[in-house]
Amino acid sequence: MRAIDRRGGAWLGELLGSADFARVFTVAVLTSIAGTHAIESIAGRATLVTIIAAECLIAVAVLVVRRRELSLLRLVPTTLLVFLLWSLASVFWSPDAGASLARWVSTAAIALLAVTIGHIRDTLQTVRAVGDVARLLLLVSLGLEVLAGVIFDMPFPFLGIRGDIAHLGPIQGVFGTRNMLGFFSVIALITFAIELRTRSVRTGLAVASIALATGMALLSASPTVFVLVVAVAAVAGVLYLVRKLPLERRTPVQWSLAGVAAIGGIAAYVQRSQIIDLLGAADDLSMRTELWRLMEFYVRRQPVQGWGWFGPWDLRESPFAVINYLLGERHTTALNAFMDVLLQLGWAGVAVFAAFFVFTFARSWLDASRRRAAVHAWTPLMVAALAVVSVFESFTLFGIGWLLLVVCAVRAGQSRSWRERLESRTAEPTLPSSPGGHSQAG
């Protein structure tokens, strides 16, 4: 019996540690997190929670099986760990500690899944998995929109699909809102472009996928899509130029680019009203301004620590319920990730969250600028898209946005981290020396 148990345990360990299982696990996680709205709408919240809880148990088992391949020092980015710890600490001053703790568990669970994916899949494998899931969900979204808007000519309210595709949008697909569909379409567009550049899928499939993502982004009629595409295209163009420079010229050029980006950001903020008018989103800006004005009242009451972590708003809790009551709306976020963090975690939380973004982007950018392979551009482009969308929506605090941000942070931290250098120095004395007396560490 013990021999059978040992054979069974060995078989399970081999399965959990295999590359095929890692691929299936990654696709399953991405599908369930990106399809959260559809799963909850069709099968209920209990089913969604059960799926994510089961995936977390599997993630822990995978990390245990692969523990010899992993470094505890480099398992989780420091800024991510600090952000999660500060979010957990906020439970103690939250108006509803139980609800806040439950929301924190949800945030930590998705972070666990992302950390696992970041360690068991390399960048190209992650790109392929994101691409496969994006193709599936965009095709399903298009099919459902055609059914609702053309064939049956009736909305699917249980999915939030209004059936407006016959009028060229706006459409929502399986994502619940047009802004979420637009955001996911841009994420898919970046991924499909990298697939085309790396030839990781057939050229015809990659071109058709780009056309699909472009069409869905346009049909979403989301005002943030244009800004996202322009910002990502600008980052991609700058990265291309930097990679063409000689190595000795890259550092001063990149510092100059950072200064130009900072000045451009300040100029865009100063001219934000004109930019909003140009995009035809003046009404949207007015609504957001009123929302943030009410939020500032609560921020001033608890400026450092915030009101406790909830992620997406719990409309039964203060201050979210009061803000919505005064506005006569049902907002579930602050429509800005940084404002949401400010309200829930205070200025201390904003500082950590901003550092999380900055370090992730800086590490991924430096890594992509020194490596020629196109696949390394995926991480900084993804982080750039997540940073820009955070100004207009809070998608990076939950769901697929949060998952992708943590995956990018783990990938960036593995190649450009102070802990990598620390490990190298620690391991150096134990390495054998070459006959010439030099270390073989390279």
| Helical ranges in 66-202 per DSSP H | 78-89, 97-120, 123-146, 178-198
For residue 400, give Cα distances in angstroms to 70, 160, 172, 403, 410: 25, 18, 16, 5, 15
**Span between the terminal Cα atoms of the chain, in Å:** 49
Question: What is the arithmetic mean of pLDDT over 35-46?
Answer: 93
- Which tens digit of pLDDT belongs to each residue from 254-297? 777 777 777 876 776 666 556 656 655 556 667 878 888 889 98
- Which tens digit of pLDDT belongs to each residue from 361-382? 999 998 888 887 889 999 999 9
pLDDT band of residue 8 (cuts 50, 70, 90) is low
- Which tens digit of pLDDT belongs to each residue from 394-441? 999 999 999 999 999 999 887 655 455 555 554 444 444 333 343 333
Report the percent of the chain where pLDDT is more than 70: 87
- Which single residue is written with the structure tokens 């899931």? 133
pLDDT of residue 41: 92
Report the percent of the chain where pLDDT is more than 90: 57
Question: What is the arithmetic mean of pLDDT over 155-179?
Answer: 90
pLDDT of residue 6: 57
Say whether pLDDT at 147 is over 60: yes
- Please give the Cα distance from 400 to 75 (Å, whole number): 21
Contact 337, 398 (CB under 8 A): no
pLDDT of residue 279: 58
- Please give the Cα distance from 265 to 272 (Å, whole number): 10
Residue 156's DSSP bridge partners are 161
- Please give the Cα distance from 184 to 182 (Å, whole number): 6
The two three-digit tokens of residue 241, written as one number? 């130029």
Question: What is the arithmetic mean of pLDDT over 15-37?
Answer: 93
pTM of the model: 0.89
Say whether pLDDT at 383 is over 60: yes
AA identity, residue 82 = V
User: Can you give the three-state secondary structure of 52-64, one letter per residue?
Assistant: HHHHHHHHHHHHH
- Which tens digit of pLDDT belongs to each residue from 110-138? 999 999 999 999 999 999 999 999 999 99
Question: What is the arithmetic mean of pLDDT over 70-82?
Answer: 86
The two three-digit tokens of residue 181, written as one number? 């569909």
- For the chain, which residues make up each domain, given as ranges? 123-221
69-78, 186-195, 260-269 — which one is most confidently predicted on average?
186-195
Q: Is 156 helix (H, G, I), strand (E, B) or coil?
A: strand
Residue 288 or residue 166, greater confidence: 166
282-285, long-range: CB < 8 A, 24+ apart: 284/223
pLDDT of residue 434: 37
Question: What is the arithmetic mean of pLDDT over 326-349?
Answer: 92
Question: What is the arithmetic mean of pLDDT over 319-345?
Answer: 91
Listed residue (177, 143, 163) closest to 41, CA to CA: 177
